[in-house]
């Protein structure tokens, strides 16, 4: 990632009541446009506890300005935020991903903070697996729909952070100026760096005398910290007395992975597993009772044959089927041009759904013209070839088959006329939309109105902003239905 893709580094003075303008602008954005933001923390920023203090300050400032903030500790190998705010590290984000606990269950109110904290969790099986789990997509979508923001505090060297960064799509770097480029290079291109924050120079502690004499850098990460919170809350984790030089030539490599975990604490059994265990025991008891009682029947006793089960009814027409793919036709920087192309394509191919999905790349909004509501890549491929043969697309290419499983739901309607009227009303507000057929049993209405189509919430940020500015509630759901014929 090029250094030109983010703004200049801004100092963040934690003793002041103000924040950098770029951060204030982020606080003011509609909640649905920022369902999740990564706070990527450099080793140097963690060294003296400045990064954890900054995370708490940002969460508190954002909350004070009306944000519903869930500050989440992803320093999984060395949890620190719970100690910073005086809470315990018991159930946390690891339990949400591994056992399916809800965010509301594990989030704890921070005294005098105005926000909630989700701790790391007392047991993390595998960091890379946890950050790569598809459940993150569901959590981000839930936050987008509820108007919440997951503020994810994550060390830059955390295994699996690249996979999570691709899903989140937005990051703030808490870093020293000399570490910015290396950290940015480790993030995927799909993750935009919103801004870089660092401690004011006067607040950065000088290296220790021992480190200067050896000609080396101060120790990285959280190893050897002497911050007031760490030493007061867990003095037994320190291997040397404060101020006493260490004999270890490389304390970073020799530190155990779970240095601050409770060593005598055993892994907890999830409540979900308890329920499953009880259900299994009940089933085993029933089976055993039936097996034991069956031989007790007298030889002359007649056993009534079990009544045969009626055949299940034939399934009714399916109202909604997943539509996770579309075909990219063309892209325009101007909304008016894209709108004209969609109108022309709809007139030329009335049996195909054409629509606009605006996205932002390096600060510039582009309007993708997409075609089709495809159930799989085979259907999308056939549609792409049809568009090429009809002269609507220049040439076939595999990239043009786009994953677009998520769209903004704008309502269900009993008639096509009602859906079309709503489509025109939204277009007058600057929001392009399209209609999907829900005919059949089980639907709340016969037609559904969608806006945009995206791989995930990060790509739908521009559309969410358009909807919020139009006074609509952005609600991202999985796209289902079938084209209107």
pTM flag (> 0.85): no
Superfamily of segment(s) 3-203: P-loop containing nucleotide triphosphate hydrolases (3.40.50.300)
Q: Identify the pLDDT of residue 205.
A: 44
Q: Identify the pLDDT of residue 281.
A: 60
Q: Identify the pLDDT of residue 154.
A: 96
Q: Identify the pLDDT of residue 237.
A: 36
| CA distance to 172, 310, 337, 367, per residue, from 334 (Å) | 29, 60, 6, 7
- Digit-by-digit pLDDT tens for the chain (485 residues) are 444 455 568 889 888 778 999 899 889 888 778 889 999 999 989 888 899 999 999 999 999 999 999 999 999 888 999 999 999 998 999 999 888 889 989 999 998 889 999 999 887 768 898 998 988 988 888 888 788 999 999 999 999 999 999 889 899 999 877 888 889 888 998 888 989 998 876 444 444 444 433 344 333 333 332 333 232 333 333 333 333 333 443 333 222 222 233 333 434 445 555 555 566 665 555 544 444 444 433 444 444 444 444 444 444 444 468 899 999 999 998 999 999 999 999 999 998 999 999 998 777 899 999 999 999 999 999 999 999 999 998 888 888 899 999 999 999 999 999 999 999 999 999 999 999 988 754 445 689 999 999 988 888 989 999 999 999 988 899 999 876 55
**Where do the structural domains in the chain lie, given as residue ranges?**
3-203, 325-483
Query: What angle, rounded to 10 degrees, do the helices at 135-146 and 161-168 form?
Result: 30
Q: Identify the pLDDT of residue 312.
A: 43
Q: Identify the pLDDT of residue 143.
A: 87
Three-state SS for the chain is CCHHHCCCCEECCCCCCCCCHHHHHHHCCCHHHCCEEEEEECHHHHHCCHHHHHHHHHHHHHHHCCCEEEEEECCCCCCCHHHHCCCCCCCCHHHHHHHCCCHHHHCEECCCCCCEEECCCCCCCCHHHHHHCCHHHHHHHHHHHHCEEEEEEEECCCCCHHHHHHHHCEEEEECCCCCHHHHHHCCCCCCEEEEEEECCHHHCCCCCHHHHHHCCCCCCCCCCCCCHHHHHHCHHHCCCCCCCCCCCCCHHHHCCCCCCCCCCCCCCCCHHHHHHHHHHHHHHHHHHHHHHHHHHCCCCCCCCCCCCCCCCCCCCCECCCECCEEEEEEEECCHHHHHHHHHHHHHHCCCCCEEEEEEEECCEEEEEEEEEEECCHHHHHHHHHHHHHCCCCCCCCHHHEEECCEEEEEEEECCHHHHHHHHHHHHHCCCCCEEEECCCECCCCCEEEEEEEECCHHHHHHHHHHHHHCCCCCCEEECECEECC
Q: Identify the pLDDT of residue 142.
A: 84
Q: What are phi and psi of 303, to 5 degrees?
A: -105, 120
């Amino acid at each position: 990632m090029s250094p030109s893709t983010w703004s200049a580094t801004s100092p963040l003075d934690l003793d002041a009541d103000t924040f950098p303008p770029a951060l204030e602008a982020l606080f003011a954005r509609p909640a649905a446009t920022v369902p999740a933001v990564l706070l990527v923390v450099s080793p140097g920023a963690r060294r003296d506890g400045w990064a954890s203090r900054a995370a708490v300050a940002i969460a508190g400032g954002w909350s004070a300005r009306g944000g519903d903030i869930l500050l989440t500790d992803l320093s999984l190998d060395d949890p620190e935020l719970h100690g910073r705010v005086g809470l315990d590290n018991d159930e946390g984000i690891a339990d949400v991903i591994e056992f399916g606990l809800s965010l509301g269950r594990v989030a704890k109110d921070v005294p005098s903070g105005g926000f909630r904290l989700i701790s790391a969790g007392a047991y993390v099986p595998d960091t890379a697996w946890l950050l790569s789990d598809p459940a993150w997509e569901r959590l981000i979508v839930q936050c987008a729909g509820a108007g919440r923001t997951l503020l994810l505090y994550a060390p830059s060297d955390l295994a699996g952070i690249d996979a999570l960064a691709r899903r989140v799509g937005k990051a703030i770097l808490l870093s020293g100026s000399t570490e910015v480029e290396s950290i940015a290079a480790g993030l995927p291109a799909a993750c935009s760096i919103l801004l870089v924050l660092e401690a004011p120079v006067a607040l950065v502690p000088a290296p220790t005398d021992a480190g200067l004499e050896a000609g080396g850098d101060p120790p990285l990460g959280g190893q050897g910290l002497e911050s007031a919170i760490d030493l007061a809350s867990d003095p037994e984790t320190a291997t040397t007395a404060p101020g006493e030089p260490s004999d270890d030539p490389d304390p970073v490599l020799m530190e155990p992975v779970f240095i601050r975990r409770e060593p005598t604490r055993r892994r907890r059994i999830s409540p979900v597993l308890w329920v499953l265990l009880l259900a299994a025991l009940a089933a085993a008891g029933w089976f055993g009772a039936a097996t034991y009682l069956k031989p007790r029947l007298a030889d002359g006793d007649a056993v009534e044959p079990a009544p045969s089960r009626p055949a299940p009814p034939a399934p009714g027409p399916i109202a909604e089927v997943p539509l996770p793919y579309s075909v990219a036709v063309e892209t325009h920087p101007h909304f008016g041009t894209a709108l004209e192309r969609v109108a022309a394509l709809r007139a030329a191919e009335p049996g195909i759904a054409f629509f606009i999905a605006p996205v932002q790349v390096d600060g510039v909004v582009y309007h993708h013209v997409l075609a089709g509501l495809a159930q799989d890549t085979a259907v999308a491929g056939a549609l792409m070839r049809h568009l090429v043969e009809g002269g609507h697309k220049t040439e076939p290419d595999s990239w043009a088959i786009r994953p677009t499983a998520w769209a903004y739901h704008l309502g269900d309607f009993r008639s096509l006329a009602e859906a079309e009227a709503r489509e025109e009303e939204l277009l007058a507000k600057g929001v392009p939309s399209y209609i999907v057929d829900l005919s059949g049993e089980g639907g709340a209405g016969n037609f559904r109105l969608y806006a945009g189509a995206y791989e995930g919430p990060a790509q739908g940020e521009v559309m969410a902003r358009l909807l919020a500015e139009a006074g609509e509630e952005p609600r991202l759901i999985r796209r289902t239905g079938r084209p209107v014929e």
